[in-house]
Amino acid sequence: MTEMASIKKERVRKSILAAGSSSDLPMKMELIDTLQRTGVAYHFGKEIQDLLHGIHADDQGSSDDLRTTAARFYLLRTHGYHVSPDVFMKFRDDRGNFVSNDADSLLALYNASYLRTRGEEVLDDAIIFTNNRLQCMLEHLEPQLAEEVRCALKTPIFRRVKRVETRRYIPVYEKKATRDEDILELAKLDFNILQTIYCKELKTLRIWWKDLKSQTDLQFARDRIVEMHFWVLGVVYEPQHSYSRVILTKLNIFISLFDDFYDNYSSTEESNTFTAAMERWDEQAAEQLPAHLKALYINILNTTNDFEEELKRQKNKNAELVKELVIDVAKCYHAEVKWRDEHYVPTSVEEHLQISVGSSACMHIISLVFISMGNVTTKEVLEWALTYPKIVRCVCIIGRIGNDMVSHE
């Protein structure tokens, strides 16, 4: 299977290189979109970047039809290029409505509009307009297009989990008359190869979790191994990041254990003692813990230290931040326990968020992901993230409030 995938990959690569010399802008964009949605784009990073560079430099983008303009806008913004939303102004009438009754064009505009930033009113209007128009057109569309519209109205492409979208889209692409057989076959082979890797990872993780439960009293904890592995897959799915997925799943399990322990299980004394032990980060500190927490504490230390040592062997400059992040998660949860024990109710949402933003653990998870992927960022950037700058704080607030809503329900 791997050998056949390699053959197909080289054939697809030749097709991409051939597309680079073509002047057919819509064809190039459809090719990139297909590679992304069938889940094989990660094999062709350089080739796709070369195509995107040409698409960005192509002046056709300012004079094309709505579908092409929207597709160009979507692809370029997805990959970090600056594209002004003003390219859509010429498609509006005097009342501000978009002049199009073509479902494909409206769908492309709908998906592109979700890449808006604050103050881009034309994209705000586009979301409302296309949503209403597509809803009205839905029952009159061909079945395959209707299904794509339904999926988009539920979840725009930009917000979908890549591997889940790949599993959904491959059968859709297979039904297209314009499909590329080499891309289709590569997508199927690649999907199954990655699934095999993921299954091996889950087997390793299940054994680890079973051993952890046999050593410790985790009756308070939820069994979330599969869930946490799936979460990590949503961020790093490529085969070269297998080790990262395994260790990130373990670290996320520890964060989940902290959540369950501090929120639902620990007494005041246990919370204080466990947090003090985490801050000491020393096996001897386990002697101060109740028997049912000793093995858990030692496992957290050993797993985190092993990860740190492996990162150091890989010349990772940010390895030492891992321990700091794990300790900080425990301290954030402990701060909430203090409020609980004092029966203190915050007087405002802002006061609540001063502590609960940290206990969302979003900043910690984001930082651990970047660290696990190697030297993709600098220590200075990660230390900046630890200060909860606005972009990180907003992610944490969304995570925190979403968690609170689910807990309340």
Residue 377: per-residue pLDDT: 83
Residue 63: per-residue pLDDT: 63
pLDDT value at 404 more than 90: no
Highest mean pLDDT among 44-53, 220-229, 309-318: 44-53
In a shared domain, residues 252 and 400? yes
pLDDT value at 215 more than 90: no
Contacts of 315 (CB under 8 A, 6+ apart): 375
In a shared domain, residues 283 and 402? yes
Q: What is the CA radius of gyration of the chain?
A: 25
In a shared domain, residues 260 and 164? no
pLDDT band at 117 (very low <50, low <70, confident <90, very high): very high
Angle at which helices 121-137 and 143-154 cross, to 10°: 140
In a shared domain, residues 182 and 221? no
pLDDT in tens, 5-38: 999 999 999 999 999 999 899 999 999 999 999 9
pLDDT value at 197 more than 90: yes
Q: Phi/psi of residue 222, each to 5°?
A: -80, 145
Residue 372: inside a domain, yes or no?
yes
Residue 391: per-residue pLDDT: 93
Residue 279: per-residue pLDDT: 96
pLDDT value at 187 more than 80: yes
In a shared domain, residues 131 and 247? no
In a shared domain, residues 234 and 159? no
CA distance 390 to 393: 5
Residue 408: per-residue pLDDT: 67
Residue 48: per-residue pLDDT: 97
pLDDT value at 61 more than 80: no
The two structure tokens encoding residue 284: 């001897």
pLDDT (average), residues 214-243: 92
CA distance 18 to 105: 26
The two structure tokens encoding residue 401: 């409030």
In a shared domain, residues 221 and 271? yes
Residue 165: per-residue pLDDT: 96
Q: Are 298 and 283 spatial neighbours (Cβ–Cβ below 8 Å)?
A: yes
Task: Look up the domain containing 325 and give its range.
Answer: 216-408
Residue 48: inside a domain, yes or no?
yes
pLDDT in tens, 375-393: 888 888 888 998 999 999 9
pLDDT (average), residues 356-381: 90
In a shared domain, residues 162 and 38? yes
How many domains are there within the chain?
A: 2
In a shared domain, residues 178 and 262? no
Of the listed ranges 88-92, 288-292, 309-313, 364-368, the least confidently predicted one is 288-292
How confident is the prediction for the chain on average, in pLDDT?
Answer: 92
Residue 206: inside a domain, yes or no?
no
pLDDT band at 400 (very low <50, low <70, confident <90, very high): confident
For residue 244, the domain's CATH number is 1.10.600.10
Q: Are 99 and 70 spatial neighbours (Cβ–Cβ below 8 Å)?
A: no
CA distance 239 to 115: 28
pLDDT (average), residues 114-142: 95
Residue 280: inside a domain, yes or no?
yes
Residue 210: inside a domain, yes or no?
no
Residue 60: per-residue pLDDT: 54
Residue 353: per-residue pLDDT: 84
Three-class SS state of 68: helix
Residue 196: inside a domain, yes or no?
no
CA torsion 317-363-157-82 (nearest 10°) is: -60
